[in-house]
Amino acid sequence: MAVLCRPAVAVPEHVITMAESLEMARRLHRDNPQLPLALRLIENTGVRTRHLVQPIEQTLRHPGFEARNRVYTEHAKERVPPVVRQALQHAELAPPEIDLILYVSCTGFAMPSLTAWLVGAMGFRPETRQLPIAQLGCAAGGAAVNRAHDFCRAYPGANVLIVSCEFCSLCYQPDDVGVGSLLSDGLFGDAVAAAVVRGRGGAGMALERNGSYLIPGTEEWISYDVRSTGFHFRLDRRVPGTMEPLAPVIGRLAAEHDWDASALDFYVIHAGGPRILDDLSRFLGVAREAFRHSRATLTEYGNIASAVVLDALGRLFDAGGAEPGGRGVIAGFGPGITAEMALGRWTVGGGQP
C-alpha cells in the first residue's frame, strides 16, 4: 500500500508581519476607498507572519515578467534541492529509487519543467517520469498526493517524489487595487515543500482512496489574468462560501469507504483562509481543534498555496502523528473551484497500521 511519508518544508528568510502588511497597505493605497474593507479582511486572516524570497523593498518593485520569472527559477534551483534531500531522508530513499517526480507550482513558469533540471542536478535516473502541474493553484498539493497514489496503484512498488515550490510574492502587482488583490497581498506567503509516496514500506499516511470534485460554474472565481506584466490574481468574493457545497463531497467520499467524515482521527486541510477552516469544521460537524495544524500553517506562514497540505501534514508528524490505524483525510481546494481529497490510515511502518 502506498504511504505518504513525512514531508520536508522550508520557508525563505525574509519575514513580513501582519502589522507591517497593514502599514504597507495604508501607505501604498491611502486614497483607495476600499482600503478600510481590505484592512479588516487582512486582519481577519489571522496571519501573523509570512516569508518572502526577496526583501519587501524588492518585492514591491516590478521589474517586469521576464525578470520576475528569472528570479523564480534562480530561487527554485537554490531552495528546492535541500528540501528534496530532506524528504528523501525522511522516506529512507535515494534519488535513483524514485520513479516519478511530481512538481507543482502556480507562481512561476519553466519549459522544460524544473523536473528535468532536478533529474540531472540531483542524481535521479534518466528514466524517471516527470509530471509538472502548473494550473491547479492551491489544490495542486492535494492533486499531487492523489496522482502519486494513482501511480503507485498502477505500478506497485514504485516511489513518487512530490515537490511544491510556491513563491507567491513574485505575483505581486502594484497596480492591482481591488479588494481581492489587496487581500491576497496580505494573505499569501512563499515556501518550498517535498514529500515521498512510497509504494512499499514507509511510515505516515497509508493512502486508501482519493477523489476529485469541481463545483460547476465557478471557473472564474479563482483565476489568473495573464498579461505582459505577469500573473494577476483574481479572487471572487463568493470563494469563502464554497465549503458549504464541498463538505458534503468529502462526506460522500468517506461514506463510499464506509467511514464517517465527521469522526476521523486526523484532518489535513488546505488553509486558504480562516473562514474556509471555520465553515468546513461546522459543515462537517468536527471540532475547531481538529484543524489545528492547518490553522498553525496559516498563522505562521500565510496561505502558501499548494504547499499548505504538506506543511500541515508535517506539523501532524511533529506532534507525534496519529495513533496507528487512525483514519484521516487530506483535502486541498483551489481554482475550478476544485477539491482534491485523499483518505488513509496512519501507519508506523511497512505500509500497515
- DSSP for 29-54 reads STT-TTHHHHHHHHHHT---EEEESS
Q: Do both 121 and 216 map to the same domain? A: no
Domain count of the chain? 2
Q: Do both 194 and 271 map to the same domain? A: no
pLDDT computed for residue 350 by the predictor: 54
CA-closest candidate to residue 349, choices 206, 146, 194, 210: 206
Q: Do both 54 and 187 map to the same domain? A: yes
CA-closest candidate to residue 206, choices 135, 148, 279: 148
Task: Tell me whether residue 353 is in a domain.
Answer: no
| DSSP string for residues in 91-135 | HT--GGG--EEEEE-SS---SS-HHHHHHHHHT--TT-EEEEE-S
Q: Which of 198, 225, 251 is the last residue of a domain?
A: 198
Do you find a cis peptide bond into 337, omega within 30 degrees of 0? Answer: yes
Q: Please check whether residue 343 is in contact with residue 282, taking contact to mean a CB–CB distance below 8 angstroms.
A: no
Q: Do both 292 and 148 map to the same domain? A: no
Q: Do both 152 and 171 map to the same domain? A: yes
Q: Please check whether residue 169 is in contact with residue 233, taking contact to mean a CB–CB distance below 8 angstroms.
A: no
How many alpha carbons fall within 13 Å on the CB side of residue 343?
Answer: 21
What does the block give as the cell for 183? 487581500
What does the block give as the cell for 17? 508581519
CATH of the domain at 218: 3.40.47.10
Q: Amino acid identity, residue 217?
A: G
Task: Tell me whether residue 223 is in a domain.
Answer: yes
pLDDT computed for residue 351 by the predictor: 47
CA distance 71 to 107: 11
Q: Do both 169 and 301 map to the same domain? A: no
Q: What is the pTM of this model?
A: 0.95
Q: Please check whether residue 334 is in contact with residue 140, taking contact to mean a CB–CB distance below 8 angstroms.
A: yes
**106 assigned to active site:** no
* Residues 32, 37, 41, 43, CA torsion sign: positive
Q: Do both 102 and 187 map to the same domain? A: yes
What is residue 291's DSSP assignment? G
pLDDT computed for residue 236 by the predictor: 87
Task: Tell me whether residue 116 is in a domain.
Answer: yes
CA distance 350 to 310: 21
How many alpha carbons fall within 13 Å on the CB side of residue 149?
Answer: 23
pLDDT computed for residue 180 by the predictor: 86
Task: Tell me whether residue 127 is in a domain.
Answer: yes
Task: Tell me whether residue 352 is in a domain.
Answer: no
Q: What tens-digit pLDDT sequence spans the chain (353 residues)?
A: 899 999 999 999 999 999 999 999 999 999 899 899 999 999 999 999 999 999 999 999 999 999 999 999 999 999 999 999 999 999 999 999 999 999 999 999 999 999 999 999 999 999 999 999 999 999 999 999 999 999 999 999 999 999 999 999 999 999 888 888 888 899 999 999 999 999 999 999 999 999 999 999 999 998 888 998 989 988 888 988 899 999 999 999 999 999 999 999 999 999 888 999 999 999 999 999 999 999 999 999 999 999 999 999 999 999 999 999 999 999 999 999 999 999 999 999 754 55
**Please, where are the H alpha helices in the chain?**
18-28, 35-44, 56-59, 65-91, 114-122, 140-154, 179-185, 243-256, 274-284, 292-301, 308-318
CA-closest candidate to residue 193, choices 160, 166, 169, 164: 164
CA-closest candidate to residue 86, choices 178, 145, 23, 9: 9
CA distance 242 to 270: 13
Q: Do both 192 and 215 map to the same domain? A: no
* DSSP-assigned beta bridge partners for residue 50: 16
Q: Which of 172, 198, 224 is the last residue of a domain?
A: 198
Task: Tell me whether residue 340 is in a domain.
Answer: yes
Task: Tell me whether residue 253 is in a domain.
Answer: yes
Q: Do both 175 and 245 map to the same domain? A: no
Q: Do both 77 and 173 map to the same domain? A: yes
Q: Do both 212 and 165 map to the same domain? A: no
344: helix, coil or strand?
strand
Residues listed for the chain: 353
Q: Amino acid identity, residue 91?
A: A
Residue 126 structural domain: 3-198
Task: Tell me whether residue 243 is in a domain.
Answer: yes
Q: Do both 270 and 143 map to the same domain? A: no
Catalytic pick among 5, 106, 138, 168? 138
Q: Which of 147, 171, 198 is the last residue of a domain?
A: 198
